[in-house]
């Protein structure tokens, strides 16, 4: 039966949390292990749902995945990689978006791939057209089948000159994972350059790949016939770090986030400071806290790296409900990432969402029917309510809103939070949150 979290709000969160490897890197580094001809070791692996899903998919394809019982490090041995049963793969339909990244590595390893229909957060249409376009340009043949897509490359995968219409994180990773062992040179322009992508490049370089990141979002990859395994410590999860930082602000608390890494959070820290949040940085992490003063409103646009990341937007909007004045947030990465504000409005927040682009970044969603700009007036005292969590970041935002609210909230759908926040319940307990779970 689904769990219900009962939260009694109004307690400032105080204490320390640790963040481990990034959700948006770890599963992809696991997929990269398929490209090697011997074992890989991945360290700093969090216990989250996406890691479970990819572990299971790798095992179905004959990869031996062993977890160190003490450290949680993963050893990944791809030497017995094989074709998996379609019905077994199919059981993972809708679980995650990572399976699409198996295409290139599986074609290199066994000549074909069957990818189940994808899952992931419902924050927009989340198409895979860029992925399929680049795969076709490498020479892959893509066929739609019941429950997924089937991909092969009868003439092998060959390097290509590619250009993405938008700097998609996933499509850039698709190119990296496919091009490293494709024949010849691949040049990708319009690439995403998020820190998690740089860390994936580090993994591939350890395996023997030749990849250079050039100016203006151009990545050049010289294909090599073989790659070895890797030994890598995953970069820390900057999105989880930013989430706890917003939790500190929203609940008027003080949270030290061990593992938070300043260079990956530059845009977030600037914004945090503008609102009136305080932080102290040391070698092991960052302390985020509310100074007791008033929070200031601001005008904010999400963007691809090095801009203000879309995954930081939802928890920060909760903090903006406590700022004195009117804030404007323009979401330019996903067309439908404000659905979570409905629950905040029920809790007493004053938020209007608009179809217009309320910002200066040319946005793909302008003049279309997407509610992708929000106007938030504050401060408003939030009141506890019943909430069913809609997606990962929206869900975390609801949790921190409930933790800051007057009275009691009953929250369902918390399983979604486990997709990206390792052991969040015990972290909340350590921070002094008043809740129980039934
Ligand atoms: N897009 C297309 N066609 C494609 C691929 C993407 O139109 O084939 C569009 C998307 O619909 C979206 C935009 O391009 O509007 C950007 O999508 P992107 O491909 O960059 O996102 P992703 O790779 O699917 C990853 C993270 C997201 C994070 C985004 C942006 C993972 C598993 N997911 O998604 O993380 O928001 O990059 O940085 O790495 C989260 O952690 O909550 C989360 C959603």
Q: What is the DSSP string of 53-122?
A: HHHHHHHHTT-EEEE-TTT--EEEE-TT--PPPHHHHHTTTTS-SGGGGGHHHHHHHHSEEEEEPP----
Distances (CA, A) of 396 to 53, 244, 311: 21, 9, 11
156/195 same-domain check: yes
Q: Give the Å distance between the CA of 102 and the centre of ligand 1.
A: 16
Predicted confidence at residue 117, as pLDDT, reads: 82
Q: How much is the pLDDT for 367?
A: 80
Kindly state the tokens that stand for 75: 């050893």
Distance 24 CA to ligand 1 centre (A): 10
Is the pLDDT at 147 greater than 80, yes or no?
A: no
pLDDT in tens, 62-97: 999 999 999 999 999 999 998 888 778 777 777 788
Query: What's the rounded Cα separation, in Å, for the pair 18 and 258?
Result: 5
- Residue in 306, 301, 388 with CA at minimum distance from that of residue 343: 388
263-307 tens-digit pLDDT? 999 999 999 999 999 999 999 999 999 999 999 999 999 999 999
| Helix residue spans in 251-385 (DSSP H) | 266-275, 310-320, 341-346
Q: Indicate whether 49 pLDDT > 80.
A: yes
Count of domains forming the chain: 2
- The residue among 386, 422, 411 whose CA lies nearest residue 2 is 411
Percent of the chain with pLDDT over 90: 88
**Segments forming the whole domain that contains residue 322:** 4-19+236-437
Q: Say whether both 194 and 120 belong to one domain.
A: yes
Residues 78 and 137 in one domain: yes
The pLDDT of 375-394, averaged and rounded, is: 96
The CB of 353 under 6 Å from ligand 1? The reply is no
In this structure, the answer to whether residues 257 and 164 fall within a common structural domain is no
Confidence band, pLDDT 50/70/90 cuts, at residue 1? low
Statement to judge: residues 228 and 323 lie in one domain: no
Question: Cα–Cα distance between 308 and 270 in angstroms, integer?
Answer: 9
Does the beta carbon of 128 lie inside 6 Å of ligand 1? yes
- The angle, 0 to 180 degrees and rounded to 10, between the axes of the packed helices 169-179 and 129-137 is 20
How far does residue 383's CA lie from ligand 1's centre (Å)? 32
* Per-residue confidence band for 175, with pLDDT thresholds at 50, 70 and 90: very high
Domain co-membership, 268 together with 213? no
Query: Which CATH number goes with the domain that contains 307?
Result: 3.65.10.10
pLDDT of residue 268: 98
298 and 257 within one domain: yes
Q: What is the mean pLDDT of the chain?
A: 95
Judged by DSSP in three states, 221 sits in strand
Find the 348 Cα to ligand 1 centroid distance in Å.
31
Residue pLDDT, tens place only, 111-143: 999 888 877 666 666 789 999 999 999 999 999
Q: Are residues 199 and 312 in the same domain?
A: no
The verdict on 205 and 329 lying in the same domain is no
Tokens of 103: 């295409």
Q: Is residue 171 located within the same domain as residue 256?
A: no
Q: What is the predicted pLDDT for the residue at 193?
A: 98
Ligand 1 atom with least separation from CA of 239:
41
pLDDT band, residue 396 (cuts 50/70/90) = very high
pLDDT digits 0-9 by tens, 11-34: 999 999 999 999 999 999 999 999
For ligand 1, whether the C-beta of 169 sits within 6 Å is yes
Render pLDDT for 327-359 as a digit per residue (tens, 0 to 9): 999 999 999 999 999 999 999 999 999 999 999
Same domain, 12 and 47: no
List residues with catalytic annotation: 121
Which of the four pLDDT bands, split at 50, 70 and 90, describes residue 215?
Answer: very high
Q: Are residue 153 and residue 282 in the same domain, yes or no?
A: no
* 195 CB within 6 A, ligand 1: no
Last residue of a domain, one of 214, 233, 252: 233
Which of 201, 233, 265 is at the close of a domain? 233
The CA-based diameter of the chain, rounded to the nearest angstrom, is 65
List residues bridging with 375 in a β-sheet: 328, 352
Domain endpoint, select from 169, 202, 233: 233
Instruction: State mean pLDDT over 218-224.
Output: 98
33 lines ligand 1 (CB under 6 A): no
């Amino acid at each position: 039966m689904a769990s219900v979290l009962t939260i009694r709000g109004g307690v400032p969160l105080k204490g320390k949390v640790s963040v481990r490897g990034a959700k948006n890197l770890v599963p992809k580094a696991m997929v990269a292990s398929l490209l090697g001809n011997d074992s890989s070791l991945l360290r700093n692996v969090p216990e989250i749902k996406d890691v479970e899903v990819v572990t299971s998919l790798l095992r179905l394809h004959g990869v031996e995945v062993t977890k160190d019982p003490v450290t949680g490090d993963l050893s990944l041995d791809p030497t017995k990689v094989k074709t998996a049963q379609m019905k077994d793969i199919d059981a993972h339909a809708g679980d995650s978006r990572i399976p699409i990244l198996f295409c290139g590595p599986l074609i290199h390893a066994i000549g074909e791939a069957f990818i189940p229909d994808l899952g992931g957060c419902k924050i927009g249409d989340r198409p895979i057209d860029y992925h399929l376009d680049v795969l076709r340009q490498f020479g892959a043949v893509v066929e739609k089948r019941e429950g997924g897509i089937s991909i092969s490359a009868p003439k092998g995968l060959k390097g290509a000159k590619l250009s993405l219409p938008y700097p998609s994180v996933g499509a850039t990773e698709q190119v990296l994972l496919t091009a490293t062992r494709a024949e010849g040179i691949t040049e990708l322009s319009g690439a995403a350059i998020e820190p998690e992508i740089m860390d994936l490049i580090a993994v591939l370089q350890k395996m023997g790949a030749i990849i250079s990141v050039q100016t203006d979002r151009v990545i050049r990859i010289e294909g090599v016939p073989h790659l070895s395994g890797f030994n890598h410590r995953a970069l820390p999860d900057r999105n989880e770090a930013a989430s706890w930082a917003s939790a500190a602000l929203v609940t008027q608390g003080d949270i030290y986030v061990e593992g938070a890494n300043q260079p990956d959070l530059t845009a977030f820290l600037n914004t945090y400071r503008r609102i009136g949040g305080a932080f102290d940085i040391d070698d092991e992490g960052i302390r985020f806290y509310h100074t007791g003063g008033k929070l200031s409103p601001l005008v904010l646009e999400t963007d691809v790296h090095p801009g203000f990341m879309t995954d930081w937007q939802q928890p920060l909007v909760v903090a903006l409900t406590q700022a004195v004045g009117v804030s404007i947030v323009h979401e330019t990465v996903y067309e439908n990432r404000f659905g979570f504000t409905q629950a905040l409005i029920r809790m007493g927040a004053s938020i209007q969402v608009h179809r217009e682009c309320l910002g200066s970044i040319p946005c793909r969603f302008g003049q279309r029917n997407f509610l992708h700009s929000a106007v938030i007036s504050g401060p408003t005292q939030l009141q506890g309510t019943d909430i069913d969590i809609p997606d990962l970041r929206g869900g975390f935002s609801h949790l921190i809103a409930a933790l800051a609210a007057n009275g009691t909230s009953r929250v369902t759908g918390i399983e979604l939070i486990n997709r990206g926040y390792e052991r969040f319940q015990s972290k909340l307990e350590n921070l002094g949150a008043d809740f129980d779970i039934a």
